[in-house]
A and B are shown apart, each in its own frame.
Chain A
């Protein structure tokens, strides 16, 4: 089952940084660097093949980013930013 950004999430890009929050209560968190890159890929197509897509964007092997992508998804899920389905 794939994960997508929750419909209750508000998103504001500010340059290379993205601010996101689950409405109505937050918290408001910001992602920079690779976090912002992974978030942008989530916006484009959910978490399908996310490790591979992140590796392609970063120009490295999937094994290099796999642990970080998994951890990022866990954090976002804990914050309620992602939903399954």
Chain B
């Protein structure tokens, strides 16, 4: 009677506990985090059968360094650097032996207002959702709809992302849509949101246009870097990107190989990347 089971918990359960564990760390260290996607979503915008494989959270930018230190102390291991995650350098994966994967966001791709200001906007309208019995702050319903839409905008060809939009923005009434549009304006997300409304090409003159065109429709490595440099908001940020362009993404290489990589492999990749980039560009020109 009353034996603890040795059955492996379903992934949905493990993800819920990952959210709870992340919130526990945040509470103990006075860190503001918002839980997004997965079990943090409002049930009315969840597509039937939707599952998550990791726990997604957004951390107040000014608390990020402190939170990462606290996560490491709590047994979480960082799997990649923020700059390796995507063109938007928005998140980093962490793994815990008991809770699995977490995707820790330092920003939501698509918001162009300063990061702290964007977080404040989401934080002001937050409410608590109960996940694994713990109170976890989540963004308002309109903000959840917007976050789903912006994620879909950079997920070309993803039937799941399209279906998520259909069950959130697509199913929203006029009042909810007006609130979402208000947030789009407040957070400077007009260009990525136009991907969802099918009006991206109306923003051709916007510095953000190219990066969202590549994110939503695909492009070569060269086009991606051009888009990133064009979207960078300051000359210093553009310079950093130009200098980093030839560097090897060691995190990515390690994941592809499934093991630590040697210095020699990094050197070989350093020379192979430009060649691949030119090859992709050449193919794109011919097709």
Contacts and interface: CB of A to CB of B under 8 A. Distances in A.
A82 interface: no
Interface in B1-40: 1-5, 7, 9-10, 13-14, 16-17, 20-21, 24-25, 28
B99 interface: yes
Nearest to B7: A30
B226 interface: no
Interface residues of A, number: 30
B133 A35 contact: no
A26 B98 contact: yes
Contact of B20 (A10, A34, A71): A10
Interface string A53-85: 000000000000100110110010001000000
B255 interface: no
A19 B2 contact: no
Given A10-B17, A19-B13, A24-B25, A72 B1 contact: yes
Nearest to B3: A35
B74 interface: yes
A75 to B, nearest CB: 7
Given A25-B74, A25-B75, A31 B2 contact: yes
A44 to B, nearest CB: 14
Contacts of B4: 29-31, 35, 75, 79
B1 A11 contact: no
Contacts of A69: 1-2
20 contacts: A11-B133, A12-B132, A12-B133, A19-B13, A24-B74, A24-B75, A25-B98, A26-B17, A28-B17, A30-B4, A30-B5, A31-B5, A32-B5, A33-B1, A34-B1, A34-B2, A35-B3, A35-B5, A75-B2, A79-B4
Nearest to A14: B13
B251 to A, nearest CB: 25
B9 A28 contact: yes
Interface string B96-136: 00110000000000000000000000000000000011100
Contacts of B75: 24-25
A28 B2 contact: no
